[in-house]
Amino acid sequence: MGFQDRGVGAALVAPALLLLAVMLLLPQAHALVLSLFEEGRFVGLKHYRALFAGADPVRPIGNTLAFTAASVSTSLILGFGIAVLLDRRRRAQRLVRSLAIAPFVIPPIVGAFSWKMMLDPNFGVLNYFLTFLGVPMGRIEWLSDPRLAMASVVLTDVWMNTPFVMLVVLAGLQALPRSPFEAAAIDGASGWLVLRRVLLPLLAPSLLVAAIFRTVFALREFATIWVMTQGGPVNATYVLSMDVYRPLFLYAREGYSAAVGFVMLVLTFTLTLPLMVRLYRVSIARA
C-alpha cells in the first residue's frame, strides 16, 4: 500500500520500543557494567572466573546444561512421536489441541506443585502406583535423593513442555505437501525409510524451531525447580537462574549475580542466533 508516511509508522512503533529500551535493554546494559564491579571497585572478570572455575562446590552451569539437554531432548522425542502418531487423525487432533495443551498453559508453579505432591515419598500417588505394580523399590525419595532430584525435575519439565513440541510439529506436519509421501508409497518405501528420508528432512525446520524455543526456556528455568526443590538437595538442582537470585538476595553479591545473568544471556544467544536470523529473513526481510 502507499503508506509512505515515514513519521506515522515510526510514531506507531515508538512506544513499544521505548518500553523495551527502558525496561529491558537499559537494565541489561547496566547489568553488564555491574558484573565487572564489586562493592564499587572494578574487578574485571573476577565474577566470571568464579562462576567458571567452580571454586564453589556448586556447579550451576553444569546443572543447567544437564537439565536443558535432558529436558529438551526428551520432550522433542516425545512430542515428535505423538505428533506423528496423531497426524491424519483429525478428531483425535482436535481433542489433543484443546485438552493436551493444558500442561503447557497452566502456571508452571501449579504443574510443579502437582508433581511435587505426586512424587511425595509417603503420600505420593506415584510411589503407590509403583508398589501397586509390584516394582520392588520400596519408598523412593524422588526429590530428596540427590541422585534422583534432577531426574524428577526434568520429568516435570518434560511433562509441561511436550505439548508445545507436539503443537509445533503438528503445525509443521499440516503444512507438508502430501505428494512426497504418496510418491514414496508408490516407490514401495518402508515406513522407517519414509520417516528417515522423507519426513524428518521435511520437518527439520519445525523441529529446529521447537528445539531452539525449548532450549531458550529450559536455560532460564526457575519457577518449576524452585517449587519442587529450591535448588536442593545439596545443590543437585541448583541452576543458573538461582545463581542469579541467591547471591543477590541472600548475600548481596550484586556483581556476581549480574555476571551469571550475562552468561545466561550469552548462552541463550549462541544457541538461538541461527533461528533468529532465519526468523528475521522469513518474516521481515521478505517485505
Partner 1 sequence: MASIRLEGVSKAFGAVQALRPTSLEVSDAEFFTFLGPSGCGKTTLLRLVAGLEEPTSGEIYIGERCVTRLKPKDRDLAMVFQNYALYPHMTVRENLAFPLEAKHLPRGEIQARIEEVARRLELAGLLDRRPRQLSGGQQQRVALGRAIVRNPRAFLMDEPLSNLDAKLRIQMRGELKRLQKDLGITTLYVTHDQEEAMTMSDRIAVLREGAVQQCGSPEEIYRRPRNRWVGEFVGTPPMNVFEATAERRGGAVVLRAIAAPSVRFPSPIPEPPEKLLVGIRPEHILIHRAPLPDALPGRVHVVEPVGDCSIIAIRTDAGLVNVKAAVEELPEMDEVVYLTALAGKLHLFARETGERIGP
Partner 2 sequence: MTVARAAGGHLLYLLFFVWTLFPIVWLLLTSLKTRLDAFSIPPVWLFVPTLKNYGQILWISEVARAFVNSLVVSATSTLLVLLLAVMGGYAYSRFEFPGKRASAFVLLVTRMFPPVVIVPSMFRLLRATGLYDSLGLLTLLYASFTVSFSVWMMKAFFDEIPCHIEEAALVDGYSRPGAFWRVTLPIAAPGVVATAIFTFVLAWNEFLFAFMFTSQRAKTAPVEFVGIILRETGVEWHLMAAGACLLMLPTLALSWVIHRYFVRGLGLGAVKG
Give the alpha-carbon dihedral of 272, 278, 282, 286, to 10 degrees: 120
CB of 287 to partner 1, least distance (A): 14
Say how far apart CA 31 and CA 28 lie, in whole Å. Answer: 5
Q: Is residue 284 near partner 2 by the rule CB under 8 A?
A: yes
60 lies in the site for partner 2, by CB under 8 A: no
> CA 255, CA 47: separation in Å to the nearest integer?
7
Select the residue interacting with partner 2 from 19, 77, 185, 204 (CB under 8 A): 19
**Considering beta carbons, is residue 4 or 179 the nearer one to partner 2?**
4
φ and ψ of 19, to 5 deg: -60, -45
Interaction of residue 285 with partner 2, rule CB under 8 A: yes
Least CB distance to partner 2 at residue 113 (A):
5
Q: In the numeric block, which cell numbers belong to residue 189?
A: 518405501
CB neighbour burial string for 6-20, b if at least 16 within 10 angstroms, e if fewer: eeeeeeeeeeeeeee
Burial class (CB in 10 A: 0-12, 13-18, 19+), 44: exposed
In angstroms, what is the minimal distance from the CB of 149 to partner 2? 16
80 in contact with partner 2 (CB under 8 A): no
Contact of 225 with 149, CB cutoff 8 Å: no
> Smallest distance from the beta carbon of 1 to partner 1, in angstroms?
7
Stretch of residues binding partner 2 (CB under 8 A), selected from 52-60, 96-104, 141-149, 179-187: 96-104
First to last CA, the chain: 12
CB nearer to partner 2: give 146 or 232: 232
**Minimal distance in Å, beta carbon 55 to partner 2?**
20
Contacting positions for partner 1 (CB under 8 A): 1-2, 4
CB of 227 to partner 1, least distance (A): 44
Q: Which residue is it, cell 546443572?
A: 63
When asked if residue 25 is in the footprint of partner 2 (CB under 8 A), the reply is yes
Rounded distance between C-alpha atoms, residue 16 and residue 277, angstroms? 22
Interface of this chain with partner 2, residues 161 to 190, rule: CB under 8 A = 162-164, 167-168, 170-172, 175
Residue 59 contact, options partner 2, partner 1, none, Cβ 5-8 Å cut-off depending on partner type: none
- By CB under 8 A, the residues from 116 to 145 that bind partner 2 are 116-118, 122-123, 125, 128, 132
